[in-house]
Structures are given as C-alpha cells and as structure tokens.
C-alpha cells in the first residue's frame, strides 16, 4: 500500500534560490530510488515556501529513503538556509 507524504520546507529570507538548488538535488537523487513513485517539488507564491508531494511504494522503501546519504547531506548542509523545522504530513487520498 502506498504511503503519501506532504513535506513543507521554508527558507530564511534571501536564501530561497540557494535552498532551491539543494532541493532540486534532493529530487534528482530521490526519484532514482526504487520505492519512489512520486516526488514532486512545488514553490509557493511567497517564494520562501517549498512543498513536496511524495508517494512511496511501502514503509520499507520510505524508511530506506530516510536513511540515504543524500537525505542526511541535505539536512546537515541546509540547516543554515532553512527557517524552522521541516514539516511532514502523512496523508491519504480522499476518494
């Protein structure tokens, strides 16, 4: 059964473009993972808010994703660019 996530990442003022570069690198790596079914990055009109819409094939695949070196690099290399914590919502489609 698929796992759906929405993740929200906010940049500090003046850091949106730099953070976006790191986010796009994250997309590049994450979409190559076997369990990744969707990993879409969106940018809000305020330019400082980025939103991921993700779908993972299963919990094991998501767990593996969260332990990947590119995730760990992103977390450590962007701490000074991010405004607050990354907010992650586990969701289900409404039918």
Q: 28: domain range?
A: 7-84
Q: In what order do the strands lie in the sheet with 49-56?
A: 36-43, 49-56, 3-10, 87-91
Q: pTM, whole model, 2 decimals? A: 0.94
Number of domain units in the chain: 1
pLDDT the model gives residue 41: 98
CATH code, 40: 3.30.70.100
Task: Kindly state the average pLDDT of the residues 72-93.
Answer: 96
Identify whether 95 is part of a domain: no
Q: For 55-68, what is each residue's pLDDT tens digit? A: 999 999 999 999 99
Identify whether 36 is part of a domain: yes
Checking phi first, is residue 47 left (phi over 0); if not, alpha (psi -120 to 50) or beta? Answer: left
Identify whether 80 is part of a domain: yes
Q: For 25-80, what is each residue's pLDDT tens digit? A: 999 999 999 999 999 999 999 999 999 999 999 999 999 999 999 999 999 999 99
Identify whether 34 is part of a domain: yes
């Amino acid at each position: 059964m698929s796992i759906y996530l929405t993740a929200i990442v906010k940049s500090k003022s003046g850091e949106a473009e730099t953070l976006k570069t790191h986010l796009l690198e994250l997309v590049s790596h994450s979409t190559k993972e076997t369990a990744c079914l969707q990993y879409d990055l969106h940018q809000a009109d305020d330019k400082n808010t980025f939103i991921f819409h993700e779908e993972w094939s299963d919990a094991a695949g998501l767990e593996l994703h969260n332990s990947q070196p590119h995730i760990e690099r992103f977390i450590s290399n962007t701490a000074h660019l991010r405004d607050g914590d990354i907010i992650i919502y586990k969701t289900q489609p409404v039918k």
